[in-house]
Amino acid sequence: MAGHRSLLAVTAHPDDETFIFGGTLARYAAEGVEVHLVVGCLDDRIDGSVRREELQCVSETLGLASVTVLDYEAPALAGDLSDSRVSAVAELVREAIERIDPRVVLTFDSTGGTGEADHILMGRATATAFESTVSGDDHDQQATKLYVGHFGRKLMRFGTNVLRMTPGRDPRRFGPSGGVDLVAALDASPSATTFIDVRRHLGIRRMAVDCHQSQLLGAPWVLRRYERLPAGVRGALFRREVYARVWPPAPTGLREESFFELGAPSDLTDDT
Ligand SMILES: [Zn+2]
């Protein structure tokens, strides 16, 4: 349908949608965009029904149009980033993309945002699935875009330097099975192109954070403090969520303020 605005975020675990993409999803849902979420798997360290309830809470808080849990076998295979596994998960993601038919797909970049293998897996699987849907004859290629999250760059560079200096740790062999090369992932990730102003949606994001009690309780003190910052303070410090456009390919120096062409940037700031 022409002019139909829809967005699909593909993540790995319940809570990624809030902690990593929360302001963006809240903003677009508030602007009337149909916002869908696909989650790779439930975290089996916590009762699955608890995580499903938390997802339901987030869905209602952010105003999501749908939530799908793919439930691939994650825990036993953590750190397995083999081509065959990526293709298997990509097949599940592809089914979801075809069913939802979004205009914009959002996922992790090659660093996974945090270096976690499950995040990197979902990012790769989504890129593979996306590629196969835009290369199909029956699909309007111009109508679909792929973006990857570009968060925490400075933090990740800092983290890799710390790992480098820590005896027995190597940022090139990160994760439970040593299968993640964080240095290469950082180098391979595309430049930031898209800066989403989420200031006015941090209150809703904060409510979504509160849905994830099982994660907050076990989270490190720093993260709990960080997530408990009043919306005003957060708005001053973290007013934008940053992405890189993968498809259509971004010309050098591209700088967008929305996933959707809504006109000049000045129009966007008046939007609610
Ligand atoms: Zn995660």
Give the CA-trace dihedral at 40, 217, 243, 93, to 10 degrees: 10
Helix or strand run (H / E) with residue 99:
helix 83-100
- Residues with CB under 5 Å of ion ligand 1 are 12-13, 16
User: Do strands 66-69 and 34-39 pair parallel, antiparallel, or not at all (unpaired)?
Assistant: parallel
C-alpha torsion sign, points 252, 17, 223, 178: negative
Average pLDDT over residues 193-197: 95
Distance CA 252, CA 254 (A): 6
Say how many Å lie between the CA of residue 264 and the centre of ligand 1. Answer: 34
Question: Could you report the per-residue pLDDT of 63-74, keeping only the tens digit for each?
Answer: 999 999 997 766
Say how many Å lie between the CA of residue 109 and the centre of ligand 1. Answer: 13
Question: Could you report the per-residue pLDDT of 97-107, keeping only the tens digit for each?
Answer: 999 999 999 99
Say how many Å lie between the CA of residue 39 and the centre of ligand 1. Answer: 9
Instruction: Please provide the size of the chain in residues.
Output: 272
Give the CA-trace dihedral at 69, 272, 198, 9, to 10 degrees: 20
CATH number corresponding to 6-247: 3.40.50.10320
Say how many Å lie between the CA of residue 18 and the centre of ligand 1. Answer: 10
Q: Does pLDDT of 139 surpass 60?
A: no
Say how many Å lie between the CA of residue 48 and the centre of ligand 1. Answer: 15
